Amino acid sequence: QITLKESGPTLVRPTETLTLTCTFSGFSLSGRGVAVGWIRQPPGKALEWLTHVYWDDDKRYNPSLKSRLTIIKDTSKNQVVLTMTDVDPVDTATYYCAHLDGTRWYYYDYWGPGILVTVSS
Amino acid sequence: DIQMTQSPSSLSASVGDRVTITCRAAQDIRTYLNWYQQKPGKAPKVLIYGASSLQSGVPSRFTGSGSGTDFTLTISSLQPEDFATYYCLQTSSAVGYTFGQGTKLEIK
């Protein structure tokens, strides 16, 4: 059974760096075709894809946020860490991590429950 | 990145109705298109992947079609639990993925 869960601060000050951790079970991030990604959703708005890291450490970033994002995997701990620098109130959102099935069609099939992060002074 | 245009942005329908939601890609994405259902306060749930493959456990009243730039999600006979927001997601681009803006399906 695949599960994922996001953890981290729920309140961050503007200009600070946000660090979120996705802890997962039921699969290994060393398995071919597997990736873990991050998606966010501002309150009342649409989903926005941020980034993901593949089993072979290949990484992809949303071009509009690339300069601020870093994704790192720790296969031994079954964790993926997202950092976002220089946060702003517009970064207030629910952040989800998700398992990507990349063996053929590339789709997020398992999601964490999400964590609401508020950026405010 | 590849822009995805989803329509309509909202839709009112009744139980038993047939509804169609469309997604248009700004360039050819072959069949790398997924559909998600999201209910308030919950994570999205995948319904369709590869444009037309039904995810395990999803009712057969959900069907996806299309290729290239034009895609549709059809719900053949709306059930009360289908009222939610639906999103498409393109996973074709090596640069990155893009969601549509969503379609909120409401009870008429």
pLDDT tens, N- to C-terminus, chain B (108 residues): 899 999 999 999 999 999 999 999 999 999 999 999 999 999 999 999 999 999 999 999 999 999 999 999 999 999 999 999 999 999 998 889 999 999 999 988
Q: Given an 8 Å threshold on Cβ–Cβ distance, is A49 in contact with B99?
A: yes
Long-range contact set of residues A61-67: C-beta below 8 Å, sequence gap at least 24 = A61/B96, A62/B1, A62/B96, A63/B1, A63/B95, A63/B96, A64/B1
pLDDT of residue B1: 87
Q: Given an 8 Å threshold on Cβ–Cβ distance, is A107 in contact with B100?
A: no
Q: Which residues of A touch B31 (CB under 8 A)?
A: 105
pLDDT of residue B94: 84
Q: Which residues of A touch B53 (CB under 8 A)?
A: 105
Q: B66-94 burial by CB neighbour count: b if 16+ within 10 A, else e? A: beebebbbebeebeeebbbbbbbbbbbbe
Q: How many residues does chain A have?
A: 121
pLDDT of residue B69: 98
User: Which of B52, B88, B97, B98 would best serve as a mutation to test chain A binding (most A beta carbons within 10 A)?
Assistant: B97
pLDDT of residue A97: 98
- CA gyration radius for chain A? 14
CA neighbours closer than 13 Å in the CB half-sphere of residue A32? 2
Q: Given an 8 Å threshold on Cβ–Cβ distance, is A108 in contact with B89?
A: yes
In this prediction, the residues of chain A whose per-residue pLDDT falls under 50 are none
B44 part of contact set with chain A, CB < 8 Å = yes
Q: Given an 8 Å threshold on Cβ–Cβ distance, is A49 in contact with B102?
A: no
pLDDT of residue B93: 85
Residues 22-81 of A with CB under 8 A from B: 39, 46-49, 51, 60-64
Q: Given an 8 Å threshold on Cβ–Cβ distance, is B87 in contact with A46?
A: yes
Residues 9-28 of B with CB under 8 A from A: none
pLDDT of residue B95: 86
